[in-house]
Chains A and B, each alone.
Chain A
Amino acid sequence: MNSSSRVAVLDYGAGNVRSIMNALAVMNCDAVLTDKPEDIEASDKLIIPGVGAFAYCMSQLSESGLDVAIKRFAHSGKPILGICVGMQMLFDASEEYGEHPGLGLLPGRVKRLPIETNDAIRLPHIGWNNVEFAEKDVSMCAEFYFVHSFACFPDKPGDVYGASEYAGVTFTSAVKRNNICGVQFHPERSGAAGIGFLTDFVEAGK
């Protein structure tokens, strides 16, 4: 096992970073929580957490210059994992609280889940849900924890890595293109299944 694989977790003031760090600690990952472009650049993998409103998160990134660091990292070919809003920001734009541009690393938009609420169906989509992954080596039966009202709508079907169903509507719950990966759910909050997913990400390519 390549023990010198270092994972940078982006610290940009909007994300439940502590859970991610704790989860990474459990798998003995060499992880660093950072807001410094040089640390990011020096790492082998990057995780972009995300809790909060899209616009706010993006403004935190652009004000700190970390948006540039992310793009540079993406173009280096090293693996990136975006979680929840972190995944959403990979795309061109979001419609949450108005029109806001994203990082544009993946073509597509972020839009409200087209759900009709009723007694039993609610928005935000909060709770555990199955994910059907495109690749067969990822567990098909596991449930992960979702908490969102908006979802990603990738332009390219080939980018869809995982799909879920809520209230009869299928939406993209995971994306992947080359080194860029994103998940709408929170692996650091999805119990053993989530830890398994993160472990796969951390260990991949070793």
Chain B
Amino acid sequence: MKMIIYKKDDGGVAIVIPTNEGLEKLGGINNLAKRDVPTGKKYKIVDESEISSDRTFRNAWEINESELTDGVGD
């Protein structure tokens, strides 16, 4: 399962989890990312295994914007 991450305005990290319906109807994860990531936000497509399942400090997660290299939200 692939997911999409981007940096929120408050500096935290948002994670977009696609549905099969979304992937099918929007034509794949790149199209879905462009649509569901806020306009102008850089994003990266990552494997689910790269997302921590320990959410104890979820609101403190950070991402360096230079790592968000897969596209920009439309």
B and A form one assembly: no
Residues in chain A within 8 A of chain B (CB atoms): none
